Amino acid sequence: MRLRAGKTGSGTGAARMVAQAITTARMCGAAGKIMVREDSAYGNNRVVRACINARVEFSFAGDQEPTGAAGHRLHR
């Protein structure tokens, strides 16, 4: 598990960090489902794309958008 710094703008580089964490988990033998959970700082298009490309499930926590789309989940 890796935690972000918690400062404003700490979502910078989040997609790379998520991709690296997924790769590390798989290299260590994770064979089951991988769930990536992010706070609102990580809720950006690059992180979503990294999760989709890696074929993992993901969930965002944070403020709800006016459209009602607060989180996403990818199913294989």
Q: Pick the closest to residue 50 from 24, 76, 18 (CA basis).
A: 18
Token digits of residue 26: 């798989």
Q: What pLDDT does 42 receive?
A: 77
Q: What pLDDT does 68 receive?
A: 47
**Is the distance from CB of 18 to CB of 42 less than 8 angstroms?**
yes
**Is the distance from CB of 54 to CB of 26 less than 8 angstroms?**
no
Q: What global pTM score does this model have?
A: 0.67
Task: Write out pLDDT tens, residues 11-56.
Answer: 778 899 899 999 999 999 998 999 998 877 777 889 999 999 999 9
Task: Compute how many other C-beta atoms are within 10 angstroms of the C-beta atom of residue 45.
Answer: 8
**Residue of 55 and 71 predicted with greater confidence:** 55
Q: What pLDDT does 50 receive?
A: 93
**Is the distance from CB of 60 to CB of 38 less than 8 angstroms?**
yes
